A and B are shown apart, each in its own frame.
Chain A
Amino acid sequence: MTFGQKQTDPTSPMHWRGDMQADYMYPNGVAGDKFFKHLMQRDTFLATKCDKCKKVLFPPRMYCEDCFEEILESNWIEVPSTGTVRLFTIATLNAHGEKMQEPKIVALIDIDQTNGALLGIIRSNDITKDFSGKKVKAILRPKDNREGTLKDILYFEEI
């Protein structure tokens, strides 16, 4: 026996409740700020191109993670807000592990003209469909409602 005594009385206090609640304000970063400020004005995305490895990084970055070179102002390019579904899944559970009110199609979407991708929700009338390889476009909030976060992309839908 590791201890001199163990808990044997199930009516004694057993648990103590607590939390680590706090609220977070994440600045979108130098690259992120540029991306989202652009998205507030236009219906297209921005991406960044690394001079060394020639990859078009998306979401855009201030540096290339592989080459570790800074990305210059001149290497920001505009790309369309469309893409191809690489992978998708039908999520049925919410974060508490309970059934969601309605299942959601979550997809990893390769953004056109880039080497990057974006997670997104696909809205469709037909949930049983195979979305792999399908072309989709981002549906954005009305311009006067955009706030400069990923929430400005409401969802993706098949073209």
Chain B
Amino acid sequence: MKEVAVIGAGMTLFRRHLQETGKELSYLATKMAMEDTGIQKDEIDMVVMGSAPDAFDGIHMKGENLIDGSAAVGKPYVRVFNGGGTGVFAPIAGWWHVASGVADICLVVCEEKMGNCYPHPQTAFRHIWDPILDRPLNPNLIWLFAMEMNRYMNAYNIKKEDIARVAVKNKRNAVGHPCAQLADPNITVDDVLNSEVMAWPVQRLDVSPPSDGAAALIFCNKDIVHKYTDDPIYVGGVGWNIDSTMWTNRDLTFPRYVANAAKMAYKKAGIVNPAKEIDFAEPYDPFDYKELHHMEGLLLCKKGEAPILTREGVTQRDGDLPICPSGGLLGVGNPIAATMGQKVCELYWQLAGKAGKRQIPGDPRVGVGQAWGDIMQMATVMVLRRG
């Protein structure tokens, strides 16, 4: 197996509607990553596209449509997909292109254009449900997460204000992120608790917004990485795991699939005690409770302990275990697959000391990024470390 380094990253503005087409967004993110690395199109061997449902962009086989914007014309190109998990899964696919020795340099592009689905991407979300068992009940996507959140709160007796602290932290962390859609330096716990109830226990400010956006990342074989950088960031380990489709046949209290994926990645990265050995994490936070749920799944704390750590300030940017220093999905926005920008790209920027105003104090050496997708069943995990 080849060692794999990350040598460049880029991402676009995240907004509800952007004027650029999906191709153009991919181009902007890709061009930025290429300029960051100082690399030309010809030097890229292969390209991986990560993009979530076709039903958002409104283009069947949308991977094919995005080829020219992803510097992939005339190159081996493949799109991988597992719902919301794509944001970390696409870089995992990029990693295996290089780790297997098939490519020396692999570009990963993630793109999402949710605004195309009009008037609201909610229409496309209707079709993620089982057509026979769920769709006749006319469900709203928020229900799913409200049910999981309620189950989680009930099992560990968690108060809503402890969950709201996550939204406050992330929206404040996003201040200073030039791409951020919902950064707010003055938000308080009360603002979250007083926001409109959508499907109890989920309220307006518990939720990340739908967005348009794109992100890009460049992987390189360790043997030639010296050509591009003196201070490469390496992939320590990757993991992914899926649980049953039948979400009503599972206990929603603990995300066992996240734990499985994390264990797979940690084993390869040689991490025995994740809570101690990992310096910061970017778990997937489309809803504020998901950050807590995923911290537990990533084995960064005991079951039910994440809200306590959050309350005590451990997860703040200057805390002992910074969580979502980018501002996460809650602060920066949630263009499903393009959240690679806050998850894996952010790990790279933090570890390379390029995070600017968002830089974690101290000297972070190991970070873990995670995404979550499908119908509350898919986990994708990537560990990055300094060389």
Residues of A near any B CB (own CB < 8 A): 16, 18-33, 62-63, 65-68, 70
Given contacts A68-B34, A68-B41, contact A26 B23 (CB under 8 A): no
**Which of A25, A27, A31 has the largest count of B CB atoms less than 10 A from its CB?**
A27
Task: State whether B117 touches A28 (Cβ < 8 A).
Answer: no
| Given contact pairs A18-B135, A20-B127, A70-B31, A29 touches B20 in the complex (Cβ within 8 A) | yes
Q: Could you say which of B21, B31, B40, B58 contacts A32, with CB atoms under 8 Å apart?
A: B21
- Counting chain B CB atoms within 10 Å of each CB, the highest count among A16, A18, A28, A63 belongs to A63
Q: Are A24 and B131 in contact (CB under 8 A)?
A: no
Chain B residues within an 8 Å CB radius of A33 = 19
Given A22-B55, A24-B58, 18 more pairs with CB closer than 8 A: A18-B131, A20-B55, A22-B58, A22-B118, A23-B119, A23-B123, A25-B116, A25-B118, A27-B18, A27-B19, A27-B115, A29-B20, A31-B24, A32-B21, A63-B24, A66-B73, A67-B41, A68-B27
The answer to whether A24 touches B127, judged by C-beta atoms less than 8 angstroms apart, is no
Do the beta carbons of B19 and A30 come within 8 Å of each other? yes
The verdict on A27 contacting B73 (CB below 8 Å), with A18-B135, A67-B41, A70-B31 known, is: no
> Which B residues are in CB contact (< 8 Å) with A25?
115-116, 118
Residues of B within 8 A of A (CB): 17-21, 23-24, 27, 30-31, 34, 40-41, 55, 58, 68-69, 71, 73-74, 115-119, 123-124, 127, 131-132, 135
**How many Å lie between the Cα of A26 and that of B74 in the bound state?**
26
Closest to A21 in B: B123
In angstroms, Cα B16 to Cα A25, docked, is: 13
Contact flag A24-B116 (CB < 8 Å), given A30-B24, A65-B68 = yes
Bound-complex Cα distance A66 to B71 (A): 8
Task: Report how far A66 CA is from B74 CA in the complex, Å.
Answer: 9
B104 to chain A, nearest CB (A): 18
**Nearest CB on A from B121, distance (A):** 9
25 inter-chain pairs at a CB distance below 8 angstroms, sorted by A residue, are: A16-B131, A21-B123, A22-B55, A22-B58, A22-B123, A22-B124, A23-B117, A24-B116, A25-B116, A25-B118, A27-B17, A27-B20, A27-B21, A27-B116, A28-B21, A29-B19, A30-B19, A63-B31, A63-B69, A65-B68, A68-B27, A68-B30, A68-B31, A68-B71, A70-B31
Q: From A67, which residue of chain B is reached at the shortest CB distance?
A: B41
User: Are A26 and B21 in touch, CB under 8 angstroms?
Assistant: yes
A26 & B58 in contact (Cβ 8 Å cutoff): yes
Whether A30 lies near B20 (C-beta < 8 A) is: yes
B73 and A63 form a contact (CB under 8 A): no
Residues of the A chain whose Cβ atoms lie less than 8 Å from the Cβ of B24: 29-31, 62-63
Chain B: which residue is nearest A63 at the CB level? B27
Q: Tell me the bound Cα distance from A28 to B116 in angstroms.
A: 11
User: Which B residues touch A29, using CB under 8 A?
Assistant: 19-21, 23-24
CA of A24 to CA of B23, assembled, Å: 16
Residue of A nearest to B53 (CB): A20
